[in-house]
Amino acid sequence: MIDARIVKRLPGREGGQPFDLNLHLRSESLVTALLGSSGAGKTLTLNCLAGFVQPDEGRILIEDQLFFDAQAKVHLLPRQRRCGYIFQDHALFPHMTVRDNLRFASDAARAPKTSGLDRRRRINELIEAFELGALAKRHPHQLSGGQKQRAAIARALVGNPRLLLLDEPARGLDSRLRTSFYELLQKIKEQMRVPMVLVTHELDECFELADSVGLLEHGRLLQMGTKERVMSSPASVELARSLGIYLLIAAEIVFLDPVRNTSTLRVADQEIAGTYLPGHLLGDRGWLCVRKQELKLIGQPGEAQGNQLKLRVAGSTQTARGVRLRLSDEITTEISESDFAALGGSDCVRLQFPPSSVHFLSK
């Protein structure tokens, strides 16, 4: 379990704005991802967990081990925390071979009762597990990007860490190496059961790896929960827009029934049904929010029926992932090329919404 309350204030540089990190990260998941844009405070959070940066206030508890407590004046040094850290640039020592990199990390993290034989055995196990046998005598400059990454992960695990910290580990990898990396981390998750905190700005990494997700912006944790909960119900319009996977349409609540667990939204002068919206009132204006992948586009002629909006096609643009459709009422959505072909050039389409996926966000 991770229970970290972190407050860290950084002064602005050369007349720039100061930065305040103020968050409470609590997770019992094996893999927790912190998702946010550059400058949100993701790496600073990792550095506070690892002990490289001392918070001004707060308390950090990892698996019943107290790492930091401002009031009690507890601040364990990085080597006492036993955190494996995988940096963006791998940070392998350039003058050491792969085996020497692992040996150095093992010596630095050795437990009092761990013998040299046990440490050598652990190094050999990891070299074999990460297929580094033929590379063990090579220096970092003799390795490919994927090989460096495997060596960096093995080095981070050699001391049997309490916590594994990953700072945008797939950054700069091509799609093939990225897929291999995801498979490798899944193997670590399943076989070694090491708790991990992953920071990223890539949604794909969250979907591939994380159990819990925290959305971080300007030093604040705006939302925290299971991956499914956070992705299905973003906490604000700003978060929904930043994630880029939702369709947002101006809407007004026109019906609420808590007994039947239903609601109705007026959208584009039509009506869409959803589940009950606790905390909202009739007449509230805001945004209909639905994940794009949960929508169904129907090209057959006819009036809207069921939970559908009838919309006029204003134009289309081909993208790397398919076709972006521009619809009436300033609505845009993306579909595959095959789905676009199936529309048969229709000038009107029907957009179907599953009631369970309808989410309302206040302005």
pLDDT tens-digit map of 225-248: 888 888 878 888 888 887 888 889
| HEC secondary structure over 307-321 | CEEEEEEEEEEEECC
Residue 179 lies in a domain: yes
Is residue 191 located within the same domain as residue 85?
yes
Q: Is residue 259 a part of any domain in this protein?
A: yes
Which of 93, 95, 114 has the alpha carbon at shortest distance from 105? 93
Domain contains 237: no
In a domain, 239, yes or no: no
Per-residue pLDDT tens digits for 273-325? 999 999 999 999 999 999 888 888 887 766 777 788 888 888 889 888 788 88
β-pair type (31-35, 212-217):
parallel
Cα–Cα dist 185/178, whole Å:
11
Residue 114 has pLDDT above 80, yes or no: no
Q: What is the residue range of 190's domain? A: 2-232
What is the count of structural domains for the chain?
Answer: 2
Same domain for 35 and 123, yes or no, is yes
Distances from the Cα of 286 to the Cα of 277, 328, 335, angstroms: 12, 18, 25
CB 5 within 8 A of CB 59: yes
Q: 86 and 26 in one domain?
A: yes
Query: What is the per-residue pLDDT for 214?
Result: 92
Asked whether residue 307 falls in the same domain as residue 158, the answer is no
pLDDT tier at 122, thresholds 50, 70, 90: confident
Structure-model confidence comparison of residues 204 and 40, the more confident one? 40
Q: pLDDT at residue 115 above 70?
A: yes
Joined together, the tokens standing for residue 27 give 């997770």
- Assigned token pair, 152: 């960096």
In a domain? residue 271: yes
H/E stretch holding 180: helix 175-191
Whether 79 and 170 map to the same domain: the answer is yes
Q: Is 330 in the same domain as 213?
A: no
pLDDT at 112 over 60: no
| Residue % of the chain over a pLDDT of 90 | 37
Instruction: Supply the pLDDT for residue 16.
Output: 73
14 contact partners, CB below 8 Å, separation of at least 6: none
Is 238 part of any domain?
Answer: no
User: In terms of Cα–Cα distance, which of 195, 159, 150 is closest to 177?
Assistant: 150
CATH of the domain at 112: 3.40.50.300
Domain end marker among 175, 198, 232: 232
Alpha carbon distance, N-terminus to C-terminus of the chain: 35
Which two three-digit tokens encode residue 50?
Answer: 């690892």
CA distance linking residue 77 with residue 80, whole number of Å: 5
Per-residue DSSP letter, 40: S
Amino acid (1-letter code) at residue 106? S
- Where is pLDDT greater, at 194 or 276? 276
Do 136 and 219 reside in the same domain of the chain?
A: yes
Confidence of residue 58 (pLDDT cuts 50, 70, 90): very high
Q: Are residues 224 and 253 in the same domain?
A: no
3 state SS of 270 = strand
Does residue 37 form part of some domain?
yes
The per-residue pLDDT of the chain, averaged, comes to 87
**Pair (334, 199) in one structural domain:** no
Lowest mean pLDDT among 8-17, 21-30, 44-53: 8-17
Instruction: For residue 294, give the DSSP letter.
Output: G
Last residue of a domain, one of 208, 232, 256: 232
- Whether 113 has a pLDDT exceeding 70, the answer reads no
Using CA atoms of 288, 291, 294, 299 in order, give the dihedral in degrees to the nearest 10. Answer: 70
Label each residue of 182-245 as H, E or C.
Answer: HHHHHHHHHHCCCCEEEEECCHHHHHHHCCEEEEEECCEEEEEEEHHHHHHCCCCHHHHHHHCC
pLDDT for residue 177:
75
48 and 164 co-located in one domain: yes
Residues 84 and 212 in one domain: yes
With contact defined as beta carbons under 8 Å apart, do 245 and 291 qualify? yes
Beta carbons within 10 angstroms of residue 153's beta carbon: 23
Q: Are residues 141 and 271 in the same domain?
A: no
Lowest mean pLDDT among 76-80, 214-218, 240-244, 357-361: 240-244
pLDDT in tens, 323-357: 888 888 888 888 888 888 888 778 888 888 888 88
The H-assigned helical ranges of 39-132 are: 42-50, 78-81, 98-108, 116-129
pLDDT at position 192 is 78
